[in-house]
Amino acid sequence: MPRALALIALTVCSSDLASAGSKAAELPYAKQIRAAATAYRTWGRVDEHPNVAPTDCAAPLPIDGTPAHVRRSDAEDAPHGKKLYYLWASDRAAYLNLGKRDAAIPNGFAIVKESFAAKQLAKRPPAAKPGASFGAPDPISWLEHDGKLLGTGDRKDLFVMTKVGDGAGTDDGWVYGTVAPDGTITSAGTVERCMSCHDDATTHERLFGLKSR
């Protein structure tokens, strides 16, 4: 994927996030969800190798230098099916060491799953090249699954999870949210679909960590 196109594909414009509707601002913890959705590209990707997602996320309807690899959602059928994603963490090292540390995840920690529609590719894209000034290469935007090459297509939702501390309207200190491609917050707070999935997380608190390849 050309670098310019990759940057377009991987960018959620902060002005779009800032202009989301007033109804979204009324949702509990919308401020924290918006903050993570605005800042996540300044963090680090934690999904360095392609893998099948441990969960099949679906967003609610709207209110109104190592190359990172894309991952694939487990579900085959709409609305979850064949979705690719990158995972970002506000503290990449802490996320990669889940299960290896006894310390509690601090308040303010957040992860963002950046999702894309999957499109089938006719051939394997060329290898990623190093970035400017020997920086990290462009992210790898494809993977092989069931004998097919899949690449990132249209941008889909962001799935956000952040720890805010014990309080009303939290899941043992965690809140969840979804952000549409246009920046509209479509859910925030104790989102039942997210909670029911992350209840099964056994790595650390409500976090799954990376699956082995």
Contact present, 175 and 190 (Cβ < 8 Å): yes
- Label the pairing between strands 148-163 and 110-121: antiparallel
Q: Which residue has the higher pLDDT, 164 or 46?
A: 164
Give dist(CA 151, CA 3) in Å, integer. 15
Listed in sequence order, the residues at least 6 apart from 133 whose beta carbon sits closer than 8 Å to its beta carbon are none
Query: How big is the chain, counted in residues?
Result: 213
Residue 199 has pLDDT above 70, yes or no: yes
pLDDT band at 25 (very low <50, low <70, confident <90, very high): low
Rounded to two decimals, the pTM is 0.74
Give dist(CA 159, CA 56) in Å, integer. 11
Which domains, and CATH codes, for the chain?
3-198 (3.50.70)
Give dist(CA 211, CA 188) in Å, integer. 26
Q: Which residue has the higher pLDDT, 34 or 47?
A: 34
pLDDT band at 137 (very low <50, low <70, confident <90, very high): low
For 99-134, the pLDDT digits (tens) are: 776 778 899 999 999 888 888 888 887 776 665 555
